[in-house]
Structure 1
Amino acid sequence: MFQLDSLISDFPILDQTIQGRRLVYLDNAATTQKPMAVLLASRHYYEAVNSNIHRGTHYLARLATEAFEKARQTVAGHLNAATPDEVIFTSGTTDGINLVANVLALSGRIRPGDEILISTLEHHSNIVPWQMLCERTGGVLKIIPCHEDGSLDQEAFLALLNERTRILSLTWISNSFGTVNPIAEMTAAAKNAGALVLIDAAQATAHMHINVQALGIDFLALSGHKVYAPTGIGVLWGRADVLNSLPPWRGGGEMIKEVTFEKTSYNELPFKFEAGTPNIEGAIALAAALDFLNGTGLSAIQKHERELIRSAADALSSIPGIRFYGPDDRAGALSFNVEGVHQYDLGTLMDQMGVAVRTGHHCCQPLMARFGITGTVRASFAVYNTDKDVEALAEAVGRSVAMLR
């Protein structure tokens, strides 16, 4: 088991008070805080390495290029990619999903009547790009429903799969409810139907081991800021054969081999999909975050966080009128409402007690509509959260509910 006390001290932002109280940060599904290793990696890049990459022959350009490509190798190792060339740096999960949706439209693979399959649990970033794709191509968006406990209806999923299904795009962990979807099983079924599979791993990356080859998927998108790295950096992993078969999306520098006014030839992977100057510092810091994650131990982190979520659910369950959303076996987040109390009012009062949670629809309005609510209170957990944080959460919810009723 990792040493929690020394680990917490590695996150300087947590060493402060809010409204005169110790900060209890439980908004990790929105963004995680950054350990010193990540902060120092960012600072070192700008203080000692800063230069553009790939095109320069001078010393700093070589240093920056080496650090950037080493970061790609780190990501590839973390995901168990077949080759670093399968790792495309993006600005985040949203960017990665949009990249896939756009290149599929450009490729002509989606024709009128073809079906795109997503689920009720999806974040807007895994809904809207596919709606836009369908508008352009005449494709049809199909939705996997969920049960009352927030788990996906697997019978309905299998019934929706057919010879017209072109892609299954699915979240691994629901950012709202903490539902963990059976990705491997659903991927196998989708592949048997001849569909491509994209996994939104924005929430999963900080909580789960990822082996893209073992999963059998075609694409996986993630965001750095959900996994202790800065904002503005993410990854799209794709199988090399699939990526090679697709056209580039954005045009500009780096993604080309040769340009004339008559014709342009495109670069090889991964550069074909990395037009323009990338977020060099972000990629280096993301690698530092993944090193931190693996050095701490993902299995230990997963066990620690799930124990905290179960403790939080137990501590809150005595509050009259509380309702939890999602299955009992959650990951990352605990979402709830209290009868007669608006989630925004509850979150506002909790902030006055130093407890940071998220309120609202969490960019999942269709999911909220499915349950007939406008939003929830969401407490989401990370490696640095403690039993004291759970106690503070329960106390803040209890006191706030008493004031609001």
Structure 2
Amino acid sequence: MSPTTRIGLPEHPVPELNDLLRAPVNEQFPGLRGAGHRFDAPGGTLVHAAVVRAMSRYLGSRHVANDHGPFPASAYSDVIVEWAADRVRALLGAAGGHVLFGPNMTTLTTMFSRGVAGDLRPGDEIVCTELDHEANHWPWRAVAERTGARVRLARLHPDGTLPAEAIIRELTPRTRWVAISGASNALATVPDVAAVSAAAHRVGARVYVDGVQRVAHSRVAVDEWGVDAFVTSAYKWYGPHCAALWLSDHLDPLLPEQVPSAGDALPGRLDLGTTQFEAVLGTGIAAEVLLGWDRTAIAEREHALAERIRTWLRADSRFRVLGPAGGTLMPIITFQVAGMAATAVATSLAARDVAVWDGTFYCGPAFQALSPATSGAVRAGVAAYTTDNDVTAFLDALVEVTRKKRAG
């Protein structure tokens, strides 16, 4: 079914969406004009033209209003949230469940972990991993300290993989939650979420997945995987700065009682205030964009471009690529250059119109496990709009940067 036939709004915010999706992918992003060569996608992608149009039109329309009111503009705000939640469920492979919106994954994870704290008792256990972003680690540690629970840490393999067995061996009859990454933003590692979920459920535990890096690049199937909660950020998949948290229906009894004036439904029992309706609308549109693309073809092209970069780097002994050498990977390449600080490499590339990140990307435990003697690395990410020419420019710039270092 095409995007414009699955509508829960009185009129679609971008009726020309199907026409936009027929254009070459790199022409669907107005931000590419004059943007240089963008490999910063793991930290946030450019915004799709449909999202830009939807949010702009909404903000300039008669529909702008707070929700839960008796007049049409307010009712439209309610419908926006319901419609966007439906689009997110479709994107995540969920037949049901609740969807909450917030400013970012960190905020939603912190809010959720506090919400389930009432179900934790002294001696209960939470399993986290060395692979995960700090935002899926420290909120759980804070809750554990407050409730007397214990955090067990699943360790990375030296090659940067996180086998399901590494997590499963940390499970005990006291495990209540397993907080894992759907895909690493630093190492490109993709854990076996389904296997971990099945094992966790066998001991009575529930599974919370940080899917921020997973959604843009591969199919997500929360029902099939059997996870209990899945959080993602739309600005990592061509949308606005907004995040979405999907919760399985069976979590209802665990979560807080009604917050005064917040409503009886589950989102109202966790939400901290009025949502940003324009961003929620943009998130729904971004989900429709991904649902309307040939995701398989885009993923194959992304991974081919990423593998071209990895192969080039691994052929030169001056570069060390961090993370698994094979298997299922995200199109993210994190590497170090012998004799050069990551910040110096990233700054030199920026001067050549190539955008990359440097640091540890809020993944300190992973870097400590794989590269304890260094303070960080360079990270390049391939997006739907990355081209062969971008990769060539990136590699040529690296040659210049490292040649300059040798000459110096």
In the superposition, the TM-score normalised over structure 1's length comes to: 0.90
Contact 1:29 1:332 (C-alpha < 8 Å) held by counterparts: no
Q: Deviations over 1:336-387 (max 9, x none)?
A: 1111111110110000111000000101111111121311110011100011
Q: Give the aligned partner of residue 338 of structure 1.
A: 337
CA distance in 1, matches of 2:231, 2:144: 20
Whichever residue aligns with residue 102 of structure 1, its letter is R
- 2:113 is equivalent to residue 101 of structure 1: yes
Q: Give the aligned partner of residue 256 of structure 2.
A: 247
Q: Secondary structure at the match of 1:270?
A: helix
Q: Give the aligned partner of residue 166 of structure 2.
A: 156
Q: Secondary structure at the match of 2:42?
A: coil
Q: Give the aligned partner of residue 290 of structure 2.
A: 293
- Structure 1: runs of 5+ lacking an equivalent: 18-22, 257-266
Q: CA deviation at 1:5?
A: 7.5
- Structure 2: runs of 5+ lacking an equivalent: 1-19
Q: Deviations over 1:256-279 (max 9, x none)?
A: 3xxxxxxxxxx1233322242111
Q: CA deviation at 1:248?
A: 5.1
- 2:83 is equivalent to residue 70 of structure 1: yes
Q: Give the aligned partner of residue 243 of structure 2.
A: 234
Q: Give the aligned partner of residue 55 of structure 2.
A: 42
Q: Percent identity?
A: 29
The ranges of structure 1 where at least 4 consecutive aligned residues each deviate by more than 3 angstroms after the TM superposition are: 2-5, 153-156
Q: Deviations over 1:191-243 (max 9, x none)?
A: 11111100100111111211211111111111111111111x11111111213
CA distance in 1, matches of 2:396, 2:63: 47
Matches within 5 A, 1:5-404: 6-16=24-34, 23-83=36-96, 86-105=98-117, 107=118, 109-231=119-241, 233-247=242-256, 251=259, 253=261, 255-256=262-263, 267-327=264-324, 328-329=326-327, 330-371=329-370, 372=372, 373-404=374-405
What value does the CA root-mean-square deviation take over the aligned residues?
1.9
Q: Secondary structure at the match of 2:227?
A: coil
CA distance in 2, matches of 1:312, 1:74: 34
Q: In the superposition, relative to structure 1, how do residues 268 and 5 fare at CA in structure 2: closer, same or farther (>3 Å)?
A: closer
Contact 2:306 2:333 (C-alpha < 8 Å) held by counterparts: yes
In the superposition, the TM-score normalised over structure 2's length comes to: 0.89
Q: CA deviation at 1:25?
A: 0.3
Contact 1:365 1:374 (C-alpha < 8 Å) held by counterparts: no
CA distance in 2, matches of 1:275, 1:370: 36
Whichever residue aligns with residue 381 of structure 1, its letter is V
CA distance in 2, matches of 1:324, 1:78: 31
Contact 2:164 2:195 (C-alpha < 8 Å) held by counterparts: no
Whichever residue aligns with residue 84 of structure 2, its letter is A
Q: Give the aligned partner of residue 20 of structure 1.
A: none
Select between 379-388 and 368-377 the one with higher mean Cα deviation: 368-377
CA distance in 2, matches of 1:241, 1:381: 36
